[in-house]
Structure 1
Amino acid sequence: MEKQDNLRYSEADLKEFEEIILKKLMDARKELDFIKDSISRRNDSGTDDTTGGNSKTLEDGADTAEKEQLNQLAARLQKYVTQLEHAQIRIKNGTYGVCIDTGKLIPKERLRLVPHTQHSIEAKLARK
């Protein structure tokens, strides 16, 4: 039974991780909202062209490329937000910080840097 205690972080540790996750979640959501706002503003601004001709085609291509980059960034951020939310759930259900491959505790240093991870470095390297 005592070994079971070593497979879980203390309440104080979990509180620290929860605060890290919450801050990262707030930052990511703020950035995601900003990107979504930028995308919708780009969709709205298409009627102010007075130059005409060939330059409009070049601008359309650049706008499309930039909008695609923003969409990709938004998708990555949305995935990150979801991963952070899942980490919050793991804290609540007591499985946070345990590697899903090895069953061992993920080092605190790794969790502080990548709080949404479910893999120890060893497990991550073994997957490559």
Structure 2
Amino acid sequence: MDSRQAQGKADENQAPQLEKVRYSDEELQEFKAIILKKLEKARDDYEHLRAAITHSTSNDVEDTSPTFHVMEEGASALSKEESGQLAQRQYKFIQSLEAALVRIENKTYGVCRVTGKLIPKERLMLVPHATLSVEAKNRR
């Protein structure tokens, strides 16, 4: 046996140092609980925003001066527009959280879609819908 064959035998006998490729089922359940809690709050906030848009009430400016009435309508339109934008952002957040739940079910949650490495647990605790590691996000 030459030295290359001996080296090959030595390599086979050593336990390979495998990098963790996914979170354990127990860890995934922890993340799921966090996401479900955030999802409940996000849906509640979204419904409040939608209600504010669809049920905005008049401040009874019918008997005031026409100038004030126009200003009030302008402020109301702006408020509705801002509420609409907030509702749209909230809806996207809800979709991101729901997608994270699907990744948990598929056991692919927490894997960076650029590097293929695990996203650190600390990051996922803060941003549970993250699909990129900080390293990958900073590359963009």
The answer to whether TM tops 0.5 is yes
Gaps of 5+ in 2: 1-15
Cα shift at 1:111: 0.2
* Higher Rg: 2
Q: 1:111 corresponds to which residue?
A: 124
* 1:13 alignment partner in structure 2: 27
Deviations 1:77-119 (A, max 9, x none): 0000000000000000111000000000000000000000000
| Identity percentage of aligned residues | 46
Aligned to 2:134: 121
SS of equivalent to 2:132:
coil
Distance in 1 (alpha carbons) for counterparts of 2:133 and 2:51? 36
Q: CA RMSD in A?
A: 1.7
Which residue in 2 is equivalent to 1:66?
79
Q: What stretches of structure 1 move > 4 A for 4+ residues in a row?
A: none
More displaced stretch, 98-107 vs 48-57? 48-57
In the aligned structure 1, how far is the partner of 2:17 from the partner of 2:105?
21
The whole-number CA distance in structure 1 between the counterparts of 2:100 and 2:137 is 17
- Identify unmatched segments of 5+ residues in structure 1: none
Q: Shift of residue 40 of structure 1?
A: 1.1
Q: Give TM-score scaled by structure 2 length.
A: 0.84
Offset at residue 50 of structure 1 (A): 2.0
